[in-house]
Amino acid sequence: MAVDVDMKALLIDAQGAGSVGRAVVEWIPAGMRAVAGVLEDFSVDYDVSLVEQFLRHPEAVLDYEVAMVTGMSSDFELIKEAGSRIHKLGKPLVVGGPVAFEPERLIEEVGADVAVIGEGEVSFSRLLKNGLKAGVIPELDDLAEIEGIAFKGKGGKARVKKQSRYLS
């Protein structure tokens, strides 16, 4: 049974947006749907926004405790811009999806507090169980126990934990 977490999350979809935005929205990424399922298991409220919508109205993040962004490597610049705006507004940032194949860049260039690497359902569940609540990133010692993530170590340098096992 999942533990209830007192948090509201904003899920930001940058997949397929490239550097200027997408012409058509055809799907919600499978990884984002999986994250939404984990959030539901933990009774966490969430909303979904396209990155283009978020960049037009970044103040929307103030209604949430944490922002979570997903995208592909071609979406890196938009993810970086979203990350900058999220941090200017004082909110923690979790990034995942295909762009997390370079987790050090997400931590050091985008400013992600945590990057979820690979199939993130197990890692993300552990992140929630280890204290991601009310917009607070878990302590370094707690993060160091979670496989499949990268996070800001001392001095802002990325620490990468090996990828969590695949679900199937």
Tens of pLDDT, residues 19-61: 555 545 555 667 788 889 899 998 899 999 999 899 999 999 9
Decide: pTM greater than 0.85.
yes
Residues ≥6 apart with Cβ < 8 Å to 60: 10, 49, 54
pLDDT tens readout for residues 75-121: 999 999 999 999 999 999 999 999 999 999 999 999 999 999 988 88
> Which residues lie closer than 8 Å to 74 by C-beta, 6 or more apart?
16, 18, 19
**Percentage of the chain surpassing pLDDT 90?**
54
Question: Of residues 168 and 87, which shows the higher confidence score?
Answer: 87
Is 167 buried (19+), middle (13-18) or exposed (0-12) by CB count in 10 A? exposed
* Contact by Cβ (8 Å): 150, 106: yes
